[in-house]
Every structure is written in C-alpha cells, then in structure tokens.
Amino acid sequence: MEGQAIKFGKNMVPLADTLAPGHSFCIGCGEALALKLACKALGENVIISMATGCAEICTSPLPVTSWRVPWIHTLFENNSAVISGVEAGSKILMAKGKKPQKDIKYVAMGGDGATSDIGLQALSGALERGHDFLYLCWDNEAYMNTGIQRSSATPYGASTTTAPAGKVSIGQKTRKKNMVEIAAAHDIPYAATASIGYPFDLMNKVKKGAETKGPAYVHVFVPCPTGWRHASDMAVELGRLAVETGVFPLYEVEHGRYRMNVSPSTLKPVEEYLKPQGRFRHLPEEEIRKIQEMVNEEYERLKAKAAAFPLA
Ligand SMILES: Cc1ncc(C[n+]2csc(CCOP(=O)(O)OP(=O)(O)O)c2C)c(N)n1
Ligand code: SF4
C-alpha cells in the first residue's frame, strides 16, 4: 500500500492506514483526526516516538495498540532525545550494510505541554544538532490528558482547571508561547503551522517535513471538544475559523524565510472563533476587544516578516 493514493477532488489521499481503527479518543477529537491524517501522509516506512498525552494514551491502552508501525512511548522530557538516538543508531547500522535499508522517516510527536514546556530542552537540542527527523506538535492548548491544566500554549483569556475564570481572574493571563518561531530560530530547513481545518495542507506539510533532510517542525492546531467545551461536531470548523480570524495563521519558514499559505484579504472578527467555546464564554466585551488587538498585532508582525524575508 506504500505510495498508493486515491483521488479526492483535485487532491490525492494516501491509502496507507498505519493507525488502525479502534481507539479511545473523545467523540469529535481534533487531535485524533490530525493523527490519522499525519499517519496517512507519513506512510509505512516510519519510526515514531511519542510523549505521554492524549494521542499516546488513546492509541496504546495495554494490552492493545492501534499502531501498525514501530512506535515508542517516551517520557515528556526525552522524546526528542529518543528519536535522535533512533535516527543516529539506525544510520550507523545502515552504513555498516545492516538492515534497515529502506528510506526510513524518523518522527517524534507530543502535545503542546510535552513540546512547549516539559520536552522543550530535548527538542531544542535535537534541532540544534541537526538530526534528520520531523517533530509534530499536537496543540490543543492545554494538558488535556490529565484534566485540562494550563500550559504555555494556552491562549490569553481561556479558562482551564489550573487557571480558572472566576471573580478574581479571567483565566489564563499570559500570552501563548510561539513555538514555531522558537523552532525556526534554530535556523532549521523546515518549520510550519497546520490545522485540521485544512486537511490537505496538513498532510502536505507532514510529508514535506518528513522528506526534508535535517530537522523539521510542524505545529498542528487541534481543537479539543472536551477541554475547549465546544460541540463535538465543531472541531474542523474551529480549525478553519482559527485561520480565518488570524488567531492561528498558516505559514512555512525555511531557513528564516517565510511563506503565508492562507492570507484572507480581511480577517473575520475574533469573536466568531471565541463564541462557540465554553472556555472563553466568561469574557466581557473589553477582553474580547483586547484579544482582537493582540491577534491584529501578531498577524501584522507575521505579514511584515513574510514581506521582508519571503520564500522564493
Ligand atoms: C514529567 C511529567 N509530568 C507530568 C506527567 C503527567 N501527565 C501525563 S499526560 C499529561 C498531559 C499531557 O498534555 P499535553 O502534552 O499537552 O498533551 P495532550 O494530552 O493535551 O494531548 C500530564 C501532565 C508526566 N507523565 N510526566
Ligand atoms: S481530551 Fe481533548 S485532545 Fe484529549 S482525547 Fe479528548 S477531545 Fe481529544
């Protein structure tokens, strides 16, 4: 099945299905959809290391597993160190003429907590050493697996169990850490954002990242009905609205040069994205206005960088 695909409109969908049906993700989970799409794009010749989190727990409840490819469960802290070792070790074996001989892709995956907080040091080390691997971050904007605790990727104003909205607080008071810029600051050959609202763009970026020689990083936006308190049929729509409002722009960075992939002539009001989500429902008008200003400012900054340092 490796390499085979079927036509869907003007796009091709890989037949590879290395994540078997049968898992325990919540109904309507955006992370489950992103994982399925990424696995299709990655194909069969892949070794995956995965930090603890929803994607790990929901695909490997012992004694069963959904994985049809070599897959390693790692700690948060050592995910990128583990894939570095797998890549370096198997390349030495191949140089000595031993199996595996195929063109294997090395992929590490983790949630936003695993990536932007606890696993950041090992990830930075692996990017800096220049290992030939792809890192995929599933960004549902909190530590969801253990009960919706805030992470450094939780956006301003969101209510979580450890930064709850109430009489004395509006919820998260800090701004979302920009992981793509941190990855790109290592001057790696490929860094990008993707969203489940744009599934073909997502698959293309995962494929491109996996085929890049050297380190690649793709940050994937995955709405979470349980943690964001949105309807279970809204994950894909919110994945689109985040892009259309400028909350989560789609772009690529190659050695410091930028390309915006979707740039609407006018952005939709941020309120359209915030309103369907229970985690933002407490926000008064002035806070929504403040979020709109933050989004406008960050979007303009990104556009300026893309204009000043464009990708050919
Ligand atoms: C060092 C460490 N701290 C805490 C935990 C407990 N823990 C397991 S899964 C998890 C949440 C993972 O969150 P994230 O990485 O954002 O992925 P998600 O579940 O949201 O997909 C936590 C805190 C742990 N396993 N290791
Ligand atoms: S908590 Fe959120 S990310 Fe985790 S399985 Fe449920 S919907 Fe998916």
Domain segments of the chain as ranges = 5-308
pLDDT for 139 equals 99
CA pair distance 126, 83, nearest whole angstrom: 9
Helix (H) or strand (E) holding 201: helix 199-211
Residues with CB under 6 A from ligand 2: 25-26, 29, 31, 54, 58, 140, 144-145, 224-227
Nearest atom in ligand 2 to 26's CA: 6
pLDDT in tens, 174-183: 999 999 999 9
Specify the DSSP class assigned to residue 146: T
Share of the chain above pLDDT 70, in %: 99
pLDDT in tens, 228-253: 999 999 999 999 999 999 999 999 99
pLDDT in tens, 76-109: 999 999 999 999 999 898 888 887 667 899 999 9
The contacts of residue 288 (CB under 8 Å, 6+ apart) are 270, 271, 274
Nearest atom in ligand 1 to 144's CA: 20
Cβ atoms within 10 Å of 110's Cβ, excluding its own: 26
Mean pLDDT of 152-158: 98
Q: What CATH architecture applies to the domain 5-308?
A: 3-Layer(aba) Sandwich (3.40)
SS3 210: helix
Spacing, Cα 120 to ligand 1 middle (Å) = 13
